[in-house]
Amino acid sequence: MSTENKLTPQEMARYARHIAIPEFNVEGQQKLKAAKVLVIGSGGLGSPLLLYLAAAGVGHLGIVDFDVVDESNLQRQVLFTVEDIGKSKAETAKNRLLKLNPHIEITVFNTAFTKDNALEIIKDFDVVADGTDNFPTRYLVNDACVLANKVNVYASIFRFEGQVSVFNYLSGDGTKGPNYRDLFPEPPPPGLVPNCAEGGVLGVLPGIIGSLQASEVIKVVTGVGEPLSGKLFLFDAASFTTRTLKIEKNPKTKITELINYEQFCGIEPKEEKTVKEITVQELKALVDTNADYQLIDVREPYEYDIANLNGELIPLSKVVQAAGQISRDKKVIIHCRSGVRSANAIRELELLHNFENLYNLKGGILAFSNEIDNSIPTY
């Protein structure tokens, strides 16, 4: 172990409970101090993951995140407070973590993780911890780790369920463990698996799974214990049950370059039929003049309960079947949170039921709150 990783008296005192573990001792703590760990995403999983890696004494942490703190994050992203709303997640996380442990170094990458910068970002790190919440980035992280020979400590969460595994791990006999593509060669069809914003997540779940993910990082770095290489750990908070599945390497899995992951996952932006739009100012004018129109909200019921514009609630998944409830002889305005889901609803209704009187509320309820009535909560 290099003398530069020798623990100072202050660090010896700080990490005394680690050092007291016979299998861990000073050597394990020095390995943590020497380690460079990149955490991709500082949100639900990234928050507990970063907190515990910083507290444990990982000498150099990297944080990749280009998002800003939103009020809806605070239900589970415990790195942040109400005072951080609107601020950079990565920079805010760095400031918080250095207050927790001033003995570590932190590098911030306030940018999206893409196929163009992935290999450059991860090249100087020993271990990558994937705290992302979407399939394109998940496959990108995996493929970049395989190409760069980095260990990928993976976790994911949804509603009450979580998963943890360690991919691309080099075992003592020199063999590489499975990677994410050995487990999931192909992504699910677009829209089949909703993200946490659409499907929800129990606030405490990322704390549980992110802590397990941090534990796996520490095991990989120190060599203490047996990492989840070749295994997938499953946790269900609703039933408090766990399972551990075996993962086999697939000889057909070949990763030779980084690709277009949005296209691979079937969600690349494509040319779509333009829909008619109405601005929030125009909607306000209709409201003020008591005009005859129909307003339909295609969000989920829980979103409607948080904030609504007094429209008729017909969730996107039911809107085509509910076409009979939609007027054909007056202006019908359809809205969602930002305008994306409502535009898709209009395309489906026009294609399948030949509507000609549908208008998308541009910017959705977010725009109405920002530009018309800021007493309406955003989430």
347 within domain boundaries: yes
Cα 77 from Cα 338, distance rounded (Å): 22
Tokens of 362: 């541009």
What is the mean pLDDT of each successive set of 10 residues along the chain, which is 379 residues long?
A: 79 96 95 97 95 98 94 90 93 97 97 94 97 90 96 94 96 90 82 59 93 98 96 96 94 88 68 84 96 96 92 94 95 94 93 95 95 89
For the annotated catalytic residues, the residue numbers are: 196, 336
Contact 151, 88 (CB under 8 A): no
My answer on whether 175 and 282 are in the same domain is: no
Q: Which domain holds residue 201?
A: 35-264
The residue out of 240, 264, 288 marking a domain boundary is 264
Please say whether the dihedral angle defined by the alpha carbons of residues 198, 201, 158 and 107, taken in this order, is positive or negative. positive
Tokens of 241: 């049950």
My answer on whether 350 and 209 are in the same domain is: no
pTM as predicted? 0.74
pLDDT for position 218: 98
7 within domain boundaries: no
pLDDT for position 192: 55
pLDDT for position 199: 63
pLDDT for position 133: 84
Please say whether the dihedral angle defined by the alpha carbons of residues 102, 77, 184 and 117, taken in this order, is positive or negative. negative
The residue out of 264, 297, 316 marking a domain boundary is 264
As for how many domains the chain has, the answer is 2
